[in-house]
Amino acid sequence: MYQNACGAAAASAGVCVEGDRECQSLISKEPIIPAEHDYSGFDIVKATQYGAFQRVKDLIDAGYNVNQRDSETVTLLHWAAINNRKEIMRFFIDNGSEVDAVGGELDATPLHWATRQGHLDAVVLLMNAGADPTLRDAEGCSCIHLAAQFGHTALVAYFVARGVSPDLQDKGGMTPLMWSCWKVCTLDPTRLLLTLGASTKLTDSTQGNTALHWAILARNTTAISTLILQSNASLDIPNHRGDTPLSLLQNCSGSVWIGAKVGERVREAMSTKNSQSLLIRISKDKRIKWWCMVGTPFISFYVAGLILGANVLILIKLFLLVCLYIILHFMGQVFYDDRLMALLPLSIYLATKIWIYVTWVVYIMPHASIFITLVFLSSSGALWYCFLKAWLGDPGVISTNQDLQFRTIIELAERGPGGFEPSSFCSACLVKRPIRSKHCSVCNRCVARFDHHCPWVANCIGAKNHKYFLGFLACLVIMCSQMLYGTSQYWQSQCNVIPKSDGFFDILMKINHCDPWVAWVAANSVLHLAWVFMLFICQLYQILCLGMTTNERMNKGRYGHFINNSGKSPFSRTPFLNFVDFLECTCFGLVKPEVKDWMTSYDLDKSVECQPLLRHKDNFQYV
């Protein structure tokens, strides 16, 4: 019987395998469907296995007991559940079949059998008929433990949404999270269980291992990274042998499966544990780390400008710049924190902009006309407005709470397995995904009409702040252009630069001898102008010509509505109308934009056909 083989595979210690392939090979063989369609010779068990509903009905109507058990105490509902025969299951239940009947070598219920196979439809039907998911089989596992062992994420979510504790322990004290970390190498259901509140501190009763212990023993890189980096699982909980996750990871330091970021966290924990020096305490202080990340770009920009403006030989300047780089690199190794790295691009941008303002006020303004200064200040004001909206504004986050998450899970489960397609359900946020939305791995949240995560504004760009981001790019291009115009006027008036008569190298020499600081700021303005202008043009092209977001352009091969539309966007109209729709502008009543709430838009227009990328395939079980 398949139950014995699968039960042994689930309970035995072994390496982490994706979805328990050995066990799945035992339980996923399909029966050879007879060529003839005459099922009159089938007994009721075989008719149930093959889904011959009329034959089953005739035998029951003829007096066959729906709760009749075979020699191994297996009921007909067991066979219907394992083969996902929903119509026959409903018929049996309507005729009084016992939903929690125990049978087989593992003393399992029909719900256990359906769970092992990942048959969501059968599980939903049995649960709605009153089946108890907390009953344990002969190995001490309830249904949520089986779902976690075999990586059936949708079933894990459904059981928790129906009231099963994510920390329910089996006979050996193993929780679903422990089983997932030990047996499943993919991201889910580990991430889902953590989102549902599964504890990382619980230990099993036999070895005293936490979920992190089991992940390390299985060399499950994904689970280790998820537990340590995303959930901050404790590294200091000892098992019955006295081994902590930290000591296990330390013994395996340098192994490829640990991962660079996890290895860095381990070294950080070891240095904190082994040393209490003042330098260590200072370098680990979160406030000092934050100020280092924020303040370093401001100071380094100024120091680099001073070095370039120093009245020394060029070789000495190069030496000092190399020394500055070494100091910054050392500070980065000691004081920087990967968890705060998102602040660095934003700090670099703010530092550059602040020093541009200082340079304008001190150097450019006295030599520029009032009109140029007013234009500069006006564009700067618009820049700050758009920047703050893009930085601090809501990009279109799909908000949720636990009650809503549970309702969503139950709704999608009762709709069928297709409801849990990655394109329609986020296993991290546990929300129903609106069309064009995406989960941001940096912010760990789902964003409507997701474009990209921008490190320069430290925020996602989505439905609610995309137009402000585009305005930010446009204003930044204008500001950098005005800064370059202002510096050219400064050089002509103060450095005696004559563009029409001076050669290129003559101009460079005059600028260098006149004031290298202005040249340093101008060089940064040129750099920013180049990449911001390219990004602005790219954004305009995607919005006007393609009708796509950055995410859609890069991943259109993953979305059915693009594949079925020959790679083109079903949301695109003409370039002008695309821009009007994007800005939601009526142009003084001349046009009518298509205003759509992307926070709650879950389906395409009826005119656009879309097929799911992954199709559910039934597995049929027999002896």
Strands (E), 134-231: none
Report the pLDDT averaged over residues 121-146. 96
Read off the pLDDT of residues 26-70 as tens digits, 9 standing for 90 and up: 333 445 545 456 778 899 999 999 999 999 999 999 999 999 998
Span of 310-319, 355-364, 389-398 with lowest mean pLDDT: 310-319
The answer to whether residue 3 scores a pLDDT higher than 80 is no
**Residue 383 confidence (pLDDT):** 95
Mean model confidence pLDDT for the chain: 85
Read off the pLDDT of residues 526-565 as tens digits, 9 standing for 90 and up: 999 999 999 999 999 999 999 999 999 998 888 888 888 8
**Residue 441 confidence (pLDDT):** 85
Which comes out higher in pLDDT, residue 228 or 505?
228
Report the pLDDT averaged over residues 584-600. 82
Q: What is the share, in percent, of the chain residues with pLDDT greater than 90?
A: 57
Report the pLDDT averaged over residues 327-343. 72
**Residue 281 confidence (pLDDT):** 58
Which comes out higher in pLDDT, residue 369 or 339?
369
Read off the pLDDT of residues 178-189 as tens digits, 9 standing for 90 and up: 999 999 999 999
The answer to whether residue 324 scores a pLDDT higher than 80 is yes
**Residue 30 confidence (pLDDT):** 45
**Residue 273 confidence (pLDDT):** 60
Span of 284-298, 317-331, 464-478 with lowest mean pLDDT: 284-298
The answer to whether residue 87 scores a pLDDT higher than 80 is yes
The answer to whether residue 421 scores a pLDDT higher than 80 is no
DSSP H or E run through 225:
helix 221-225
Give 355-402 as a 3 state SS string: HHHHHHHHHHHHHCCHHHHHHHHHHHHHHHHHHHHHHHCCCCECCCCH
Say how far apart CA 361 and CA 480 lie, in whole Å: 15
Which comes out higher in pLDDT, residue 536 or 338?
536
**Residue 565 confidence (pLDDT):** 85
Q: What is the DSSP letter of 235?
A: S
**Residue 608 confidence (pLDDT):** 43
The answer to whether residue 472 scores a pLDDT higher than 90 is yes
| Other Cβ atoms within 10 Å of 167 Cβ, number | 17
Rg (CA), the chain: 32
List of residues 6+ apart from 131 with CB closer than 8 A: 99, 100, 109, 110, 111
Read off the pLDDT of residues 594-619 as tens digits, 9 standing for 90 and up: 888 999 888 775 434 444 433 333 33
**Residue 20 confidence (pLDDT):** 41
Backbone angles phi, psi at 308, to 5 degrees: -65, -30
In the set 143, 386, 454, 475, the catalytic residue is 454
CB 584 within 8 A of CB 575: no
Read off the pLDDT of residues 430-457 as tens digits, 9 standing for 90 and up: 888 899 999 998 888 999 999 999 999 9
The answer to whether residue 290 scores a pLDDT higher than 90 is no
Report the pLDDT averaged over residues 152-162. 95
Report the pLDDT averaged over residues 217-246. 94
CA 103 to chain centre: 41
Q: What is the DSSP letter of 614?
A: S
Q: Which amino acid is at 53?
A: F
Which comes out higher in pLDDT, residue 252 or 60?
60
Report the pLDDT averaged over residues 299-322. 89
Give catalytic status of residue 386 as yes or no. no
